[in-house]
Amino acid sequence: MSEKGSLLTAQIIDNRRVAPAHFLMTVRLPLSFATPFPGQFVMIRNDECDGPLLARPLSVYGFQRQQDHAVMDLLYRVVGRGTSLFSRMIPGEELRFFGPLGKGFSIPTGVKKVLLVAGGVGVAPLIFLLHKGLLPADGKGIMETIFYLGARTAELLTGLERLRGFCDLKICTDDGSRGYHGPVTGLLKHDIGGFDAGDTVIYACGPKPMVRAMGNLLQDAPIPCQVSLEERMACGLGACLGCAVAVRTGEGKTDYRRVCQDGPVFDLRDIVFASPAGP
């Protein structure tokens, strides 16, 4: 599903640190803001900052409507000047906001088991998918849902409070400080043989090395996998082509697709991994 976004002003309600270099921002939006579909994203910018900083893409982490406004949660990691500026913003300050954008996840019929595989802040769109796409209104899933959550260390795990009680949670840390000792794809590799490809679907989001490892793991497995790609974007509109990735077409050839417009969600089997650096 894809939507045409709208450009507007959002007001910060809360902006707090939830892990080292990780922040949860909650913003107030006009009631007219379109309801985002799981997997979509928004572009945000602080117009008050000095210098020509580009807007930053952030996946939707949570969304709800109140009586006279809408509220959105955004989970982000500080990786440069732009996100560092976001982390210092306080309630009452405003952001330029564009969205919702992109193509989100699709939920096929006949699915009985769902595997959600997240690395780092890739947890954000998958938690939104869990709560707004997979769970019925009473919060009790009709599908068996297993959530594989990975991070470098235990203190970098985020979103746990939104996962407990809603799924079978499996935690992985690279340093072994909590849960399985190793990457999240390592635990998935251990479990993958126990799933029936006929009624199982995988949703994934994480850093490029994780996505590449998922591609290697599932290249011979018939289980379908939709992956949300994390990519730098300059415009969010598909005009600059800065977020293009190589994909396989139906004719067996390679073409390029824009993550902001044709994604960020793609069929994992369509992604061409050209180098060890990732998609």
Task: Give, in order, the Cα–Cα distances in Å from 100 to each of 3, 77, 215.
Answer: 6, 20, 28
Higher pLDDT, 62 or 236: 62
Q: Rounded CA gap, 193 and 196, in Å?
A: 8
Least confident of 5-9, 133-137, 234-238: 234-238
| Radius of gyration of the chain from its Cα atoms, rounded to whole angstroms | 18
The residue with tokens 């985020």 is 158
Q: How confident is the model at residue 256 (pLDDT cuts 50, 70, 90)?
A: confident
CA distances from 146 to 106, 111, 126 (A): 17, 13, 11
- Cβ atoms of 5 and 198 within 8 Å: the answer is no
Average pLDDT score over residue span 233-242: 60
* Residues pairing with 8 in the sheet: 97
Q: List all residues 6 or more positions away from 160 whose beta carbon is below 8 Å from its beta carbon.
A: 149, 169
**C-alpha–C-alpha distance, residues 226 and 216, integer Å:** 14
pTM (2 d.p.): 0.90
Residue 141 has a pLDDT of 53
Strand-pair partners of 190? none
Please write the tens of the pLDDT for every residue from 170-202. 999 999 999 999 999 999 999 998 998 888 999
Q: Could you tell me the residue ranges of all domains in the chain?
A: 6-101, 113-231
The CATH number that domain 113-231 falls under is 3.40.50.80
Q: How far apart are CA 227 and CA 117, in angstroms?
A: 9
Q: How far apart are CA 109 and CA 112, in angstroms?
A: 9
For the segment 190-215, the average pLDDT, to the nearest whole number, is 92
Angstrom distances, CA of residue 147 to CA of 15, 128, 178, 204, 258: 26, 13, 15, 10, 28
What pLDDT, on the 0 to 100 scale, is given for residue 157? 97
Q: Which residue has the higher pLDDT, 231 or 159?
A: 159
Task: Specify the CATH class of 6-101 in words.
Answer: mainly beta
Asked if residue 76 has pLDDT above 70, the reply is yes
Across the range 200-222, mean pLDDT stands at 91
